[in-house]
Each structure stands twice: as structure tokens, then as C-alpha cells.
Amino acid sequence: MAGPHVLIVDDARVDRLVASRVLESCNIRVTVVEGPMQALRFLAKEQDVQLILTDYSMPDMTGYDLLVEVKNSPRLNHIPVVITCTDYVDETVQM
């Protein structure tokens, strides 16, 4: 049986493929979706996701927007969210 369940949210096919292969090689169950809206639809049905790994820069909705939706949901707010970004834009880094 596979280990923890991670949801990967990224609009870049190569990034989804690389992340999923690395995690699967560690016996982690992976689900991949192309964007935040797909992720929210998936999370509305799925109960066992233990981590969301999301890209920041995506069309229509950012990874930060997804984080806000997850943390505002009483049913989902326990799930940790990791936001990644390969773009180098100073305004994107807000810490």
C-alpha cells in the first residue's frame, strides 16, 4: 500500500511529471492536476490528501489563491500547502 497522499497542482506538464516521479519513488501516492480549480474540485471529493504541492504562477488563479481557499475551508484547512515558484520576480516573494 502506498504512503501519504500528495496533491500536485501545476500548469506545467514537465514540473508535474518530475515532482510526481520523485514522490512516487519514495512510495508516496500522488494525484496531479493542472490548476487550482481542478484541485478544489478534486478536494471536494477526496478525503485523504495529506499535502498540497502547488506552483505559484498559474493562469486564472495563483497557488496563493488556492492556499487561501484551502485555509478558509473548515474541511480542508488542516492540509499543509507548499507553494513553489520557478519564476524570479521580486514582487512574488512576500516574506
| pLDDT, position 85 | 84
- What are the chain's domains? 5-92 (3.40.50.2300)
- pLDDT tens for the chain, 95 residues long, are 457 999 999 999 999 999 999 999 999 999 999 999 999 999 999 889 999 999 999 988 999 999 999 999 999 999 999 999 876 666 655 54
| pLDDT, position 93 | 54
Nearest-angstrom CA–CA distance, 66 and 56: 9
Which of 46, 54, 53 has the alpha carbon at shortest distance from 76? 46
Which of 15, 38, 5 has the alpha carbon at shortest distance from 84? 15
